[in-house]
Amino acid sequence: MLGLLFRLLPFWVREPLFIVVGSVFGVRIMYLALRDHEWPAAGIGVVFLVFTAVRVHTVIRALRARRNARPTASADPADSAVRPQPQPQPPAGRRPASAAPQKEPNAWGQAVAAVALFAVLGAALWLGPRLLPSDDVSTPQAASCSREEGEALPGAYEKTPRAVTGDELCTALNSPDLARLLGTPAETATVASGTSDTAPLTDGKVAQPEAQVQFDTYTVNVSVAYNELSIAQYVNLMEAGKEPEVRTVSVLDRPAVLSSGHTMAIEIDLGSGGSGGPVEQGPPSRTLSVALDRKDRGGYCDITVWSRSGALPDDSALLAIAETVLPAIPERTA
């Protein structure tokens, strides 16, 4: 289509377009090739520049030919001796119909119009994707929290006043700022889920909702335990067990504690027909436990971060995530 358009254009429009396109692409390709040391690309740039040089030479020859063109006299000297014969005069009041002189096109005007046309086409190609809505589906979309409609909550939630559900936790955790708080703003969530379960070994009497959001680098898990264990008691247990890297802090005027641990890795071999493999120690994790109320009357929220590579973000990331999630969890009353 573009080649047909160029062939249909007049000479003084087509050739300047060829020169502009060839020079721009040739210089750009040569610059990128020399910068990235891509010698095959440099060869393509040379082809563009040689093509442009040929078109420039063609235009120069055409300009010289137009400048040197003159009306030539007759080559036969005998014709010059012949006197012009009187021509019959038309009747009075009538003038002979003379053909209108043909005006030759302005070469420089056509060249300027060609460059202007090329500029308009370039601007349209440059601004078109920005002005039109994009249908690009290659950009990964952030995972959204899946909701299970119609699923009844366990009885422990009815007996726990103002208990948050797993869906509500997932919505609070899966915020647009979560990747930035983790120090990986370019990443998008690949998995986001929430469950409204109960705490193990409690016979379904203690509500323990949970939410998890996974990125390429980090995974964040938030769970809320509506039990009677306070943060002060939790710290005493960790100190008695000589847990490493324990640090008490305060988040939104609530007592909190930072601690380190390991996730659990379970290997399941479905091909052998046997049951799951042994539970092994997974990558290291960092957990921030925050009381559900300012007076620390029992219950806490755990925010845990880990990665497959074993790298962990700064503790400031956990504190910032807690300040984002805690407003969605009603404070526990007496």
Q: What is the pLDDT of residue 60?
A: 83
Q: Provide the mean pLDDT of the chain.
A: 79
Percentage of the residues of the chain whose pLDDT score is greater than 90: 42
Specify burial of residue 70 (Cβ count, 10 A radius: 0-12, 13-18, 19+).
exposed
Average pLDDT, stretch 123-152? 61
Q: What is the pLDDT of residue 134?
A: 47
- In the structure encoding, which two tokens stand for residue 243, read together? 């847990």
**Among 154-158, 185-189, 279-283, which stretch is predicted with the lowest mean pLDDT?**
279-283
Between CA 286 and CA 237, with CA 252 as vertex, the angle to 5 degrees is 45
The size of the chain, in residues, is 334
Q: What is the pLDDT of residue 3?
A: 57
The string of pLDDT tens digits covering residues 218-266 is 999 999 999 999 999 999 999 898 888 899 999 999 999 999 988 876 5
Rounded Cα distance, 262 and 281, in Å: 6
Band of pLDDT at residue 320, cut at 50, 70 and 90: very high
Report the b/e string of 306-315 with b at 16+ CB within 10 A.
bbeeeebbee
* Residue at 330: amino acid letter: P
Rounded Cα distance, 91 and 269, in Å: 115
Residue 22 pLDDT more than 80? no
Q: What is the pLDDT of residue 74?
A: 46
**Among 12-21, 41-50, 263-272, 288-297, which stretch is predicted with the lowest mean pLDDT?**
263-272
Beta bridge partners of 288: 258, 303
Q: What is the biggest distance separating any 2 CA atoms in the chain, rounded to whole angstroms?
A: 133
**Among 111-120, 258-267, 295-304, which stretch is predicted with the lowest mean pLDDT?**
111-120
Average pLDDT, stretch 270-285? 65
Report phi then psi at 58, rounded to 5.
-65, -45
| 314 contacts 191 by C-beta, under 8 angstroms | no
Q: What is the pLDDT of residue 47?
A: 83
The string of pLDDT tens digits covering residues 40-78 is 888 887 887 887 888 888 888 888 887 787 555 444 554
**Among 57-61, 94-98, 215-219, 313-317, which stretch is predicted with the lowest mean pLDDT?**
94-98
Residue 306 pLDDT more than 90? yes
253 vs 88, higher pLDDT: 253
* Residue at 298: amino acid letter: G
Band of pLDDT at residue 132, cut at 50, 70 and 90: very low
Highest mean pLDDT among 60-74, 94-108, 112-126, 222-236: 222-236
Specify burial of residue 80 (Cβ count, 10 A radius: 0-12, 13-18, 19+).
exposed
Q: What is the pLDDT of residue 48?
A: 79
The string of pLDDT tens digits covering residues 155-172 is 999 999 889 999 999 999
Q: What is the pLDDT of residue 244?
A: 82
Average pLDDT, stretch 277-299? 87
Query: Mind spelling out the 3-state secondary structure of the chain?
Result: CHHHHHHHCCHHHHHHHHHHHHHHHHHHHHHHHHHHCCHHHHHHHHHHHHHHHHHHHHHHHHHHHHHHCCCCCCCCHHHHHCCCCCCCCCCCCCCCCCCCCCCCCCHHHHHHHHHHHHHHHHHHHHHHHHHCCCCCCCCCCCCCCCCCCCCCCCHHHHHCCCCCCHHHHHHHHCCCCHHHHCCCCCCCCCEEEEEEEECCCCCCCCEEEEEEEECCCCEEEEEEECCCCCHHHHHHHHHHCCCCCCEEEEECCEEEEEEEEEEEEECCCCCCCCCCCCEEEEEEEEEEEEECCCCCCCCEEEEEEECCCCCCCCHHHHHHHHHHHHHHCCCCCC
235 vs 118, higher pLDDT: 235
Rounded Cα distance, 13 and 191, in Å: 56
Residue 136 pLDDT more than 50? no
Q: What is the pLDDT of residue 20?
A: 79
| 259 contacts 238 by C-beta, under 8 angstroms | yes
